[in-house]
Amino acid sequence: MVHLLITADDLTGANDTGVQFAKEGASTFVTTNRDIRIESLGSQVAVLAVDTESRHVSPAEAAARVYDVARRAREAGVRNFYKKTDSALRGNIGAELEALMKAAGSDCLMFIPAYPKASRTTRKGFQYVGDKLLHATAFGRDPLEPACESFVPAVIGKQTRVGVTVLSLLGDESGRALQGGRTGIYVFDCESDNDLRRIGAILAANDALHVTAGPAGFAELLPELLCLPRADLVAERNRGPLLVVGGSVNEASLRQIAFARQHGFVDVVLPPSVLLAKGVSLNEEGKRIAEQTAWKAAQGRDVVVRTIERPDELADYVAQAGLSCVDRRRVCHLAAENMGRFVACVLERGFFGTCAVFGGDSSLGVMKALGSTGLLPKAEIMPGLVLAEIVGSSVGANFITKSGGFGDPDVVLRMVDFLRKDG
């Protein structure tokens, strides 16, 4: 029986939240199928994470998708809900939080937007990355979706009129605020893992765990707080060549791809003529590059696939394909589809042991091209970096998803160490 429903607005978010449960032994299924029949899962799945793929749609469409999935889950007997949100507050957060409250039949929702392990903290209602306000970091310079606001209630208030209350952990303030009648969205200040645990204890003591939201940080506590059923989990490592796909234009991901190139990975560049080509299949140039990429793996080489090297190159890149950065949805859609087709073409040769994809849109593109609608998360390599098994595909490679803005420059080398260490 499904005990908890997670909704996320992209695939990496669904996967890096789902793994918090899987690594604790709770059977977890991550799916891109919004129409999944929850009743059909029986007793095999305790936690269901659904990618509503709603980050780049209108607020109304995002709300409708979340509401529909959560409503059907509630009708199927699910009583606990978690709205996975981006730790950089991207996407349709206000609209989706309100939609979840309505679908779950709840007057209130507990929102913990911090993720201390990834250096995302909340102080007096403001979101920080490291010691900087969110909008003053690389997320504020994102070429496709810049963060223009750091005050969490202001971000929420752009899309909903539901009341927002910021709660501090000083003294007994949070506990007193949750006693008696509760309405609206409660945003918790949080600067450490210890703060997360204190919040969990407060919510448990006040029977306020049924409808919660946040990144993967707070989700890590829920297997114990919700007393979810557990079983042993085995994560198989494939030590074959590694294919790293740079599908994110976030500055952190671009630095990580550059670092891998500097440390021995073969460099493969996908030009605009391939990545932004219009059509229903990978073009001939893309197939030629895919064949060359697979041949490198046959020689035992690790490979990175990339597009731009710096965010300021994006405008020129998409202009070559006759598009505009303003047309974000079209750019993201084309790039994700063609990146997925390219990666599927490479993996079908069977030489790569593991494929790691940076960015939720590209991860979904790969899943679609492989004909899969689900993942079984197996291990958390580091925050935002998840090893999973692809469901419903003949490709035998491991699959790793990584949120674009997470990780230090050497993240790819740490990935290699994880995959090839003994044990």
From residue 265, how far is each of 275, 296, 368 by CA, in Å?
21, 10, 26
From residue 338, how far is each of 12, 139, 282, 325, 397 by CA, in Å?
18, 25, 6, 17, 20
d(CA 423, CA 418) in angstroms, rounded, equals 10
Average pLDDT over residues 354-363: 92
Q: What is the pLDDT of residues 275-325, one digit of tens each?
A: 888 889 999 999 999 999 999 999 999 999 998 777 777 777 677 667 666
d(CA 307, CA 297) in angstroms, rounded, equals 20
Q: What is the pLDDT of residues 34-46, one digit of tens each?
A: 999 998 888 889 9
d(CA 351, CA 268) in angstroms, rounded, equals 16
d(CA 215, CA 382) in angstroms, rounded, equals 14
d(CA 153, CA 135) in angstroms, rounded, equals 14
Average pLDDT over residues 333-342: 91
Torsion of CA 126, 128, 131, 136, to 10 degrees: -90
φ, ψ dihedrals at 125, nearest 5°:
85, -5
Supply the mean pLDDT for the chain: 91
Q: SS3 letters for 275-302?
A: HCCCCCCCCHHHHHHHHHHHHHHHCCCC
Among 286-295, 326-335, 360-369, 395-404, the least confident range? 326-335
Helix or strand (DSSP H, E) at 90: none
Indicate the domain borders of the chain: 4-225, 242-420
Question: Which pLDDT score, from 0 to 100, does residue 332 have?
Answer: 74
Strands 398-402 and 354-358, by their bridges, are parallel
Quote the tokens at residue 49: 């994470």
In this predicted structure, the answer to whether residue 234 has a pLDDT above a threshold of 90 is no
At 405, is the pLDDT very low, low, confident or very high (cuts 50, 70, 90)? confident
Q: Regarding predicted confidence, which is higher, 279 or 262?
A: 262
Question: Which pLDDT score, from 0 to 100, does residue 334 have?
Answer: 86
From the list 334, 352, 157, 148, the residue with the least C-alpha distance to 243 is 352
Q: Which CATH number fits domain 242-420: 3.90.230.10, 3.40.980.20, 1.10.3720.10, 3.40.50.300?
A: 3.40.980.20
d(CA 191, CA 5) in angstroms, rounded, equals 26
Average pLDDT over residues 121-143: 94
Q: Give me the CATH topology for the region 4-225.
A: Rossmann fold (3.40.50)
What percentage of the chain has pLDDT greater than the value 70? Answer: 95
Amino acid at 326: V
Burial letters for 168-205: b for 16+ Cβ neighbours within 10 Å, e otherwise?
A: ebeeeebbebbeeebeebbbbbbeeeebbebbbebbee
In this predicted structure, the answer to whether residue 198 has a pLDDT above a threshold of 70 is yes
φ, ψ dihedrals at 77, nearest 5°:
105, 0
Question: Which pLDDT score, from 0 to 100, does residue 176 have?
Answer: 80
